[in-house]
Chain A
Amino acid sequence: MSETVTEREVMEYDVIIVGAGPSGLACAIRLKQLKPDLMVAVIEKSAEVGAHILSGAVIEPGPLDELLPGWRDNPPPVCVPVERDELSYLTATSKRKLPTPPQQKNHGNFIVSLGALCAWLAPQAEAVGVDIFPGYAASGIFYTVDNAVGGVIIGDMGVDRDGQPKDTYMQGIEIHAPLTVLAEGCRGHLSKQLISKYELDKESDPQCYGVGIKELWQVDAGKCKPGLVQHSIGWPLDKSTYGGSFIYHLDKDRVAVGFVTALDYSDPEFSPFEAFQQFKHHPEIKPLFEGGEILSGGARTIIEGGSQSLPRVDMPGALLIGDAAGLLNLPKIKGTHQAIRSGMLAAVHIADKGSADGFDAALRSSPVMKELHKVRNIRPGFNKGLWRGLITAGIETITAGKLPRTLHNHADHSSLRNLSDTKTIDRHWVKRDLAPRDRLASVYFAATEHDEDQPVHLQILEPDICITRCGEEYNHPCTRFCPANVYEIVEDEQADAGIRLQINAANCVHCKTCDIKDPYQIINWVTPEGGSGPNYQNL
């Protein structure tokens, strides 16, 4: 279509923020608090603020107190103070309580729905003069003649599957700004391009990730204990796979349940979705959900690399904040406070300096980074398995990260073992009867919606590899790691191999697992038409 493209309409702002999550909104609010005359816009690909946000979430309120001192008088709609913490180790049949590590003590923290929290923050940002545009996807970077970031390009709307304009075609505009703040969350697709273009990660370890799958349940009256925070490690994961569960008891008989699996798992036959569903069927867990119903569900990757993997967070004309940079504190299983803090820090930097230059140093000397540095060896400690990981975690916790060593991270996509090197593991998995029956049924609870007549937003760079090499080496792991059943191998008489890869792009919940875990790095996640994707409620 390149010949038909006319010059795009342009809007100008002082600062454009990509992503209306906790970091982006905090940055926007702080900017307007510091400099009310700055023109600040936030672009958000979901149809409504919060609809693509999925998190546990237990949050530390400190940074929120700093951002909005009166927030406790007007709390977000889902906000339950933590009453009690519980950590357990599971085997297939038993549950043993473990002492709660200090990082996971949650006294004074709150269980929230991060989606609802963002939907609650948005009008407060608008009240101080921020322009928020939900339903518009930033699909590309606008570069200045000096090769600096000069803003973003909004994706075209009304384009058919083959890339041709439909009757409703609307060309996306360009938003120009001297400063662009990438607040896309984990594995943002523009952040990914920028990290590569400006080689922001050349001095850091590879990034590593996990995929979290979550459901919100309405349970039978009396089963929910508001304020109870439960975590588990162990079954259904094998000892070499890092991850665990969370069950957060909210109010009104609502319970959030989820499971996070590190994406450096090695068994190509493993399915994170199945592991989560298995967890719900553990004999000690299942009774909580029996008789209840799912309200909503979905999945999102989380960034686990910590300080070693943190890329340089400034570049000409732009900066990275929150999980677009990778500031989650994994041992705490929390990133929201870090996201809000980094957003505020970016705002202060922009207001003082008026440029991105120096933000990397500012972030690295801030409490955000101190917190990450202290726990830097805990996650890579688990690369040697669960027990050695726990020992490392214990040592690192006691010494507060002061030991003069830094363990390293490896890239998740390189961790799958070839089928020929893989022994079948007996995971003691059981027959399931709790909802959802399968991934398709689960996608229904994400209320995900994409116009089918639009270009497929999951680009396969070398489709031949999928059918040939990937089938032989890994038996198409995309058909298992995707929690939304986007990838399917179907029989096709017309294809040479008799099979082809079918991409059910309309099922996508924008979690980005495929972009991360695909062993050949040939899946590229790009933004679909603005407003597409899941419509999460209170996740």
Chain B
Amino acid sequence: MKILVGIKRVVDYNVRIRIKPDGSGVDTDGVKMSINPFDEIALEEALRIREAGMAEEVIVVSLGDNACQQQLRTGLAMGADRAIQVGAPASLQPLTIARAFMEVINREKPGLVLLGKQAIDGDNSQTAQMLAALWDRPQATFASKMSLEEDIATVTREVDAGLETIEVDLPAVISVDLRLNEPRFVKLPDIMKAKRKPLDVLSLDDLGVSIENDIQFKHHEPPPVREKGIMVEDAAQLVAELKNRGLV
């Protein structure tokens, strides 16, 4: 079985996000970029499945400009067997991404597609669901635990009401949540090995996918800054201040 894992290059979770002064988007100038943390968890799970002898090959796929090759190389250093970059502008919307993945699926015929439940930049959480629909295969989203047996995946999902365990037939699309596993550290010699692993570059044209950005972003702005508080001396002053502000 082949496992396809989606990887997105995003602003690192430690970085303090800043909106560009003109409101046209998030400032990424000189900012640290990383693999979307949920995608890293998806890759870790794929590697564990392969190491358990239930898959032969793990392929990491990313859509983006050449900068995303850095994240693909990190994925290869973690242990993926090969990588595919679909050359595209850095900002694509979920439907285009899902269509491109669908074309990669048609070429690679994977038994399982593992994706992060969402990317920490757009927070859309749509690609996995759209891909399952396009592929006409089952989906299991927000996986916090999973196991494979024959052609069935048993997946525990983190949902609002608690945990829900479902079974899906493979091939399927599974999107993973934070608690599924803790990704490994990359071993230094593996970075060198990763440089020699195959990284194929395709274009959206090669895949016959056109860009459809249906959502237009009008303006970005940071959340309002919390106003400075005051220290009150006693309860009486607290009540007075609340009254002043018309809060009681």
Binding site for B on A (CB under 8 A): 9, 11, 47-48, 51, 77-78, 113, 115-116, 119, 131, 133, 135-136, 154, 157-158, 167-168, 170, 173, 175, 218, 253, 295-296, 444-445, 447, 449, 535, 537-538
Contact = CB atoms under 8 A, between A and B. Distances in A.
B1 interface: no
Interface string B9-40: 00010111010010000000111100000000
A119 B29 CA distance: 12
Given A115-B30, A119-B30, A154-B188, 11 more contacts: A11-B189, A113-B30, A116-B30, A157-B185, A158-B185, A170-B184, A173-B189, A218-B21, A447-B14, A447-B16, A538-B29
Interface in B184-212: 184-189, 191-192
B178 to A, nearest CB: 15
A11 B187 CA distance: 11
A38 B189 CA distance: 18
B182 interface: yes
A11 B188 contact: yes
A48 B11 CA distance: 13
Nearest to A296: B16
B182 A167 contact: yes
Nearest to B12: A535
Contacts of B189: 9, 11, 173
Which 10 pairs from chain A and chain B are nearest by CB? Answer: A157-B185, A170-B185, A538-B30, A449-B14, A537-B30, A48-B32, A447-B14, A535-B14, A535-B32, A173-B188
Interface size class of B (residues with CB under 8 A): 20 to 34
A113 B14 CA distance: 20
A170 B188 CA distance: 10
Contacts of A537: 15, 30-32
Given A133-B191, A295-B18, A168 B30 contact: no
A77 B30 contact: yes
17 contacts: A9-B189, A47-B12, A77-B29, A116-B30, A131-B191, A133-B191, A168-B184, A168-B185, A170-B184, A170-B185, A170-B187, A296-B16, A445-B16, A447-B16, A449-B14, A537-B15, A537-B30
Contact of B192 (A116, A131, A445): A131
A535 B15 contact: yes
A214 to B, nearest CB: 15
Which of A77, A136, A157, A537 has the most chain B CB atoms inside 10 A of its CB?
Answer: A537
- Chain A contact surface mostly: mixed
A507 to B, nearest CB: 14
Contacts of B187: 9, 170, 173
Contacts of B31: 537
A77 B186 CA distance: 29
B185 A51 contact: no
Interface in B174-188: 182-188
Interface in B137-187: 182-187
Contacts of A158: 185
B16 A444 contact: yes
A296 B27 CA distance: 13
A126 B18 CA distance: 30
B18 A133 contact: no
Contacts of B191: 131, 133
A510 B97 CA distance: 40
B16 A51 contact: no
A405 B122 CA distance: 65
Contacts of B32: 47-48, 51, 535, 537
Contacts of B29: 77, 538
A227 B185 CA distance: 43
Contacts of B184: 168, 170
A130 to B, nearest CB: 13
Nearest to A170: B185
A136 B185 CA distance: 10
Contacts of A157: 185
A34 B183 CA distance: 40
A51 B191 CA distance: 20
Contact of B188 (A51, A136, A168): A136
A157 to B, nearest CB: 4
A170 B186 CA distance: 9
A447 B15 contact: yes
A9 B189 CA distance: 9
Contacts of A48: 32
A308 B175 CA distance: 62
A113 B183 CA distance: 33
Nearest to B27: A295
Nearest to B225: A293
Nearest to A120: B30
Contacts of A136: 188
A447 B184 CA distance: 23
B220 to A, nearest CB: 16
A416 B238 CA distance: 45
A113 B29 CA distance: 13
Contacts of B14: 447, 449, 535
A504 B39 CA distance: 31
Which of B30, B186, B189, B192 has the most chain A CB atoms inside 10 A of its CB?
Answer: B30
Interface in B53-92: none
Nearest to A133: B188
B16 to A, nearest CB: 6
Contacts of A154: 188
A398 to B, nearest CB: 42
Contacts of A447: 14-16
